[in-house]
Amino acid sequence: MYSSIFFAWGLAAITVVLHAVGLALMLRFLDHRGNVLMTQLGAISTRLVWVACYMILLHLMAISIWATFYVWQECLPDLETAFYFSGVTYSTIGFGDVVLGKPWRLFGLMEGLTGILMCGLSTGVFFAVVNHIYLFFHTKNDDNHTS
């Protein structure tokens, strides 16, 4: 039992590091891109779609890591089942049609808790990106009205 708790904490830590590095790289990229044409609807839409797709990719990578562990430890029969279970657990949908056996049940709990934290982190970062665009747009409009 203690080894499974160790592995669960390890997977949770890997998931957090994956998101921390991934989001830091994304924010660095956005910072280098600057606010080019952020007053145009197409540019704003493109940026938000890109950010959302990038974040979804980070979540899919984390789900894949958990799923790979489940197959490696023979907790689940194949990669497709493991990916499905991991996805519904990570996103806290939890259909319950696929479950882990008794020695591994705590993994579902740990993955769900980790997943909801990472989804919350992504939501916060997405909100910050939208807020940045909003503030930039209003700063530009205020400059135009005062000159």
* Residue-range definition of the domain harbouring residue 101: 2-146
Average pLDDT taken over every residue of the chain: 90
- pLDDT tens for residues 76-111? 999 999 999 999 999 999 999 999 998 899 999 999
Largest CA distance in the chain: 69
Number of domains composing the chain: 1
Task: State how far the Cα of 82 lies from the Cα of 11, in Å rounded to an integer.
Answer: 15
pLDDT of residue 1: 59
> Would you give the end-to-end CA distance of the chain in angstroms?
69
